[in-house]
């Protein structure tokens, strides 16, 4: 079959009326690589879409009122990235900044470039990846037509979510402290509690998001032109895809595309998945889940100390989902006790010796 015949067959095949795309990433202020990957997948999604387009952004604290407030701010300040700057300025100045003030700061940030933004703290570190993610989304909207909508939960659900997030944060700190002091039994117990809390949190939010997406998809299916929905979310929310499929039933009119990053063998995905499915998790796997954060934090501090934090951010997923995940997954309990005695520089050297990725070795030097 010639290439022309093959292309003709592809063109003639019926396409789903509604395209749904999920893009997951690790939530971290320094995950610039994840932000750039998300923008790339969104560009592909909307380039292939017809009809109405929607980008759904998650917001664990989002009520309908808050979602509307974000929408109005986005319109007033001229984009999602500018809302990030406005939020920072408002917290710093204690007054609502003008559009001119926001635009002036935006010009300084964009002129400086990412390396200077990171090293000269033109934005607080908690906003780094989110700013560049939103900047990319703003840029896509100049090429493709799509609406931005936000996760919207009932007030009672938001209150429950806040309570669970507070509990998860406490258990996360406890597992880290126990791990650092070599109290592995207590660390495992805290990790189990954290994972169960994340499971409850996921069930609460994922069910609400899936219901919301089902309604949007149903509306698009009734439209003559169909449409497309893309959603950006943390990789632990991947169950949303199966929930939506289950609510829609067997529909050939809806196409799904899921990207979770290099997370197929990610320790965190494995232990979380087993927890969600009520499958047993070995204590060594719980310890590996904790050790991931311990090693990642040490490598991040090393990158800051050596002036390589910008390169670290550009290679965040390669390092954390690839190199560090592979390194930690092979550690025995005795070896994990051994890394507790290493400072950040020694930890970076230790990881570097076990890494096969030349792309990131200079960051660990």
pLDDT by residue (tens digit) across 298-333?
Answer: 999 998 888 888 889 999 988 888 888 888 988 999
| pLDDT score recorded for residue 10 | 42
Domain ranges of the chain: 14-154+205-259, 156-198+267-364
- Partnered with residue 158 across adjacent β-strands are none
Q: What is the pTM of this model?
A: 0.86
Q: Does the pLDDT at position 6 exceed 50?
A: no
Concatenating the DSSP letter of every residue in 300-345 gives: HHHHHHTT-HHHHHHTHHIIIIIIHHHHHHT--HHHHHHHTT--HH
Higher pLDDT residue, 77 or 5? 77
Contact between 67 and 149 under an 8 Å Cβ cutoff? The reply is yes
pLDDT by residue (tens digit) across 217-256?
Answer: 888 988 888 899 998 887 666 677 778 877 777 677 888 8
143 SS3 class: coil
């Amino acid at each position: 079959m010639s290439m022309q015949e093959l292309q003709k067959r592809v063109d003639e095949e019926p396409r789903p009326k509604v395209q749904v795309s999920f893009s997951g990433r690790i939530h971290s202020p320094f995950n610039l690589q994840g932000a750039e990957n998300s923008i790339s997948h969104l560009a592909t999604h909307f380039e292939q879409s017809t009809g109405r387009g929607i980008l759904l952004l998650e917001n664990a604290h989002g009520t309908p009122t808050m979602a509307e407030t974000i929408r109005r701010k986005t319109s007033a300040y001229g984009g999602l990235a500018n809302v990030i700057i406005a939020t920072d300025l408002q917290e710093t100045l204690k007054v609502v900044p003008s559009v001119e003030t926001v635009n002036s700061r935006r010009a300084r940030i964009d002129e400086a470039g990412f390396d200077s933004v990171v090293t000269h703290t033109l934005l607080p570190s908690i906003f780094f990846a989110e700013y560049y993610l939103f900047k990319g989304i703003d840029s896509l909207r100049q090429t493709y037509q799509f609406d931005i909508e936000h996760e919207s939960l009932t007030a009672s659900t938001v209150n429950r979510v806040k309570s669970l997030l507070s509990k998860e944060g406490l258990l996360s700190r406890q597992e880290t402290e126990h791990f650092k002091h070599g109290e592995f039994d207590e660390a495992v117990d805290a990790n189990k509690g954290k994972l169960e809390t994340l499971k409850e949190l996921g069930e609460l939010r994922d069910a609400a998001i899936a219901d919301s997406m089902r309604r949007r998809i149903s509306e698009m299916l009734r439209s003559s032109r169909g449409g497309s929905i893309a959603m950006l979310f943390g990789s632990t929310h991947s169950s949303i895809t199966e929930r939506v499929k289950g609510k829609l039933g067997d529909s050939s009119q809806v196409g799904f595309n899921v990207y979770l990053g290099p997370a197929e063998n990610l320790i965190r995905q494995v232990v979380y998945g087993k927890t969600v499915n009520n499958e047993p998790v070995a204590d060594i796997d719980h310890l590996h889940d904790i050790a991931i954060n311990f090693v990642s934090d040490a490598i991040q501090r090393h990158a800051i100390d050596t002036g390589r934090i910008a390169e670290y951010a550009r290679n965040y997923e390669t390092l954390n989902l690839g190199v560090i995940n592979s390194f930690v997954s092979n550690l025995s309990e005795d070896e994990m006790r051994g890394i507790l005695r290493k400072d950040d520089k020694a930890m970076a050297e230790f990881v570097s010796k076990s890494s096969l990725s030349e792309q990131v070795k200079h960051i660990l030097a």
